[in-house]
Amino acid sequence: MIYEIHLYVPKHGQLTPAMLDWLFQNGQSADQPEPFWPVRKLKPKALARLMLRLDPYLIPQPGPGNDVELHYPNEQLGIVLYVHDRGIILFFPYMAYSVYSRLVLGICYTYIRYLYDTVGFWSYDPQLNVLSYADDFQSIEDTAILMDRLMPKLLSS
């Protein structure tokens, strides 16, 4: 199973569950007026360059339109940052009860924390329905515990 975390820069310093609902309902629509958007419009290529300053080993690949994919150099870890004009979706494999899950989460949360510190990104975990303005080591451990507790139940449903 591929796990994902969505990263956005709120326009007015906060994101609420209602704003996230609007994004998931209208985020694919190109005809929404800019004032309706709760998150900033971004430049995917500039954002990809920012990430490459943090981790020059990321492998950039063109995505649809102006989007950019940044692949972690170790393909076995399966980490991909999908950079689009409203944010980033961080994809990584779900690995229950694995030492690799802590390693993958550590790498991903390094990216999340960097984006929070440098640009003001907030993170949203749709699997666990958790919205956060920043993450730290305790968040990594909390996420890993929740994943280990909840994801096997969701997979068996």
Higher pLDDT, 154 or 11: 11
Q: Which domains does the chain have, with CATH numbers?
A: 2-156 (3.30.310)
Higher pLDDT, 114 or 1: 114
Q: What's the CA gap between 140 and 120, in Å, rounded? A: 19
Q: Is the pLDDT of residue 143 over 80?
A: no
**Stretch 49-67: mean pLDDT:** 96
* Whole-number percent of the chain with pLDDT over 70: 81
Of 16, 18, 37, 35, nearest to 27 by C-alpha is: 37
pTM, to two decimals: 0.85
Task: Tell me 39's DSSP state.
Answer: B
Instruction: Give the per-residue pLDDT at 111.
Output: 94
pLDDT tens by residue, 63-109: 999 999 999 999 988 999 999 999 999 999 877 666 677 788 889 98
